[in-house]
Chain A
Amino acid sequence: MQGGDGAAVPTACFDDAALRVLANVLPLPESADPLHESIGRQMVTSQPILSATGLTMEFRGFVAVNDVTLSVNEGTIHALIGPNGAGKTTVFNLLTKFLTPTRGQIVFRGEDITRLKPAEVARHGLVRSFQISAVFPHLTVLDNVRVALQRPAGLATQFWRSAGVLSSLDGRAMELIDAVNLTPYADLTATELSYGRKRALEIATTLALDPAMLLLDEPMAGMGHEDIGRISDLIRRIARDRTVLMVEHNLNVVADLCDRVTVLARGEILADGSYDAVSADPRVREAYMGTEHE
């Protein structure tokens, strides 16, 4: 838990660091990383929990996402990567219905969710985070988590009862806060937290809904390496009994954490497969290097 506050140096971006990673670290020897052993463990057996077919999003003639077909297997950590402007966040917005696709279909756990509203998608168990840290800034850490617990507990619409009844949720909220190591900060308002702890709080709040699948939009953006380690551990723990789809720029993290990688460039899918397979793909290398020479 120490040292998080001072270490919030922005490291994750695609420009220099990531390119260096691609050039040098990509052919990562499997034995060098014990976590690599876990890669592929579920890939063979599990079923797709979320599949999108032919997703297209046009903004007044500009095609941001073109014919994206994506399938995320249950119980895996799946990464969505790609250069800046590739349409990763747009895909997230489409999957969680914050945007409605121009064309295409989204099926989650066997149910067509293409026409649902975003709040309904969350109720189905597909819960997202945002690129810009999504907390309730002037509520305390405890209250942030409790807000998420209120709806499942049926304590959200009573306007005639005292807010004191919400203390019945404190126990569960503190468990979740403890799971992300924020117990000492439970009474601080969210604005008072360091960047990394805000992201941890966000994950605790998301977990409060007990979702079957989490969509994390750049969970480590702007973090120092200590925070990155902490959040990586957290995501690994979460993924034991859930599915995670994450947009991530830090390719070390992707290599470390993710079972499967989908590469997006200019709104289209470029490659899809294990990290090693994808990183060996010449088109992927070209997409990244291409941006360098522009």
Chain B
Amino acid sequence: MAVDTQYYAAQPRFRTSAVVFGVIAIAALLAAPFFFYPVLLMSMLCFALFACAFNLLIGYVGLLSFGHAAFFGGAAYFAAHAAKVWGWDPLGAVLLGAAGAAGMGLAIGFLAIRRQGIYFAMITLALSQMFAFICLQVPFTHGEDGIQGVPRGELLGLVDLNEPLAMYYFTLAIFLFGFFAIWRIVHSPFGNILKAIRENERRAISLGYRVDRYKLGAFVMSAALAGLAGGTKAIVFQFATLTDVQWQMSGEVILMTLLGGIGTMVGPAVGAALVVALQNYLAASNFPVTVLIGIIFVVCVLVFRRGIVGEILELARRRSKDAK
């Protein structure tokens, strides 16, 4: 399922083109708010980071979490509460969201990594549904209303985030930080062991690796990065609601990742941008967006199972093999 990044990393030509691609992508992201509606872009960036964080688990450890909404939505509540009630700096609030999500990831992951496959997915789903129920009941989340009117505030007391451009670049900075954190984790000694575990878990155990600890580590990192995305979203949209903690959100991030390409670095971001754009443009029309997304999902699974980016990379790989 996962595209073999090891292979691409070993190709010097591919590495050069990856650097070129990265530079172009960053330039495009810097220029984007002058051409597109910044709030839409920020929404895309938040979901892109969420999907990339989710992909760290499914793409590089082979664990399908069906409860990532708990980390995304939970962090949104933590950040919103910190910014609104405690009057925290927006960066502090976002970081608190990520830390809270990491703590939740430790608790949920500790219970879930003992099982594999569908059982792992079911445990994460059950625990995240429990968390969604808690969010509905406890006073600080304000139940159905959610936390409304969260102030964007001033970043470190210097930059007024009520300026759309300032808010955009803050979100972009968070996204790039999160993206490169994932890139670093995947291409680190630790990431190497994660890949080995994904490839052959029993063999990794027989080489003396306590695979549960590696899985739990990756789970917590993935949860923290999903929380980073969720906390940022709360500051951008100035609210935190039940929508982000419910299981539909866990399903949506799976769709985004699958559509873009599981196990590719940029695939989940592409998938997230596509889904957010579709939801945004179809919201105004009468066409039911869920039907279209359902159709896209089916087409994706039937025709291009590697996802958009995965298929492109596969094409490039085949071409370079033919050239040899």
Contact = CB atoms under 8 A, between A and B. Distances in A.
A166 B7 contact: no
B202 interface: yes
A138 interface: yes
Interface string A161-182: 1110110000000000000000
A134 B200 contact: yes
Interface in A177-233: 187, 189, 205, 209
Contact of B190 (A123, A129, A157, A205): A157
Given A96-B206, A98-B202, A119-B205, A139 B189 contact: no
B217 A147 contact: no
A221 to B, nearest CB: 17
A148 B207 contact: yes
Contacts of A156: 189-190, 193, 209
Given A150-B189, A159-B184, A138 B208 contact: no
Interface of A is mostly: loop
Contacts of A147: 192-193, 196, 204, 207
Interface residues of A, number: 40
Contact of B206 (A130, A138, A158, A166): A130
A50 B308 CA distance: 53
Contact-residue bracket for chain B: 20 to 34
Interface string B194-212: 0110011011111111110
A118 interface: yes
A143 B192 contact: yes
Contacts of A155: 189
A106 interface: no
Contacts of B192: 143, 146-147, 150, 163, 166
A33 to B, nearest CB: 33
A159 B185 contact: yes
A119 B211 contact: yes
Nearest to A169: B189
B20 interface: no
B259 interface: no
- Max chain A Cβ within 10 angstroms of own Cβ: one of B185, B187, B196, B203: B203
Contacts of A10: none
B207 A122 contact: yes
B191 interface: yes
Given A139-B196, A150-B189, A158-B189, A209 B207 contact: yes
A177 B304 CA distance: 38
Interface string B267-281: 000000000000000
Nearest to B213: A157
A135 interface: yes
B188 A159 contact: yes
B207 A159 contact: no
Pick from B7, B10, B191, B192 the residue with the most CB of A within 10 Å: B192
Contacts of B252: none
Q: Which of A117, A135, A148 has the most CB of B within 10 A?
A: A148
A166 to B, nearest CB: 6
B242 interface: no
Contact of A119 (B10, B187, B188, B210): B210
Interface string A26-61: 000000000000000000000000000000000000
A134 B190 contact: no
B6 A134 contact: no
A62 interface: no
Contacts of B204: 147
B324 to A, nearest CB: 13
Given A134-B203, A138-B4, A189-B7, A123 B208 contact: yes
A119 B197 CA distance: 13
A200 to B, nearest CB: 15
Contacts of A146: 192
A160 B186 CA distance: 10
A178 B184 CA distance: 31
Interface of A: 96, 98, 117-120, 122-123, 127-130, 134-140, 143, 146-148, 150-151, 155-163, 165-166, 187, 189, 205, 209
21 contacts: A96-B206, A117-B210, A118-B205, A119-B211, A122-B205, A123-B208, A127-B208, A135-B200, A136-B200, A147-B193, A148-B207, A150-B193, A157-B193, A157-B217, A158-B189, A159-B189, A159-B217, A162-B184, A162-B188, A163-B191, A189-B4
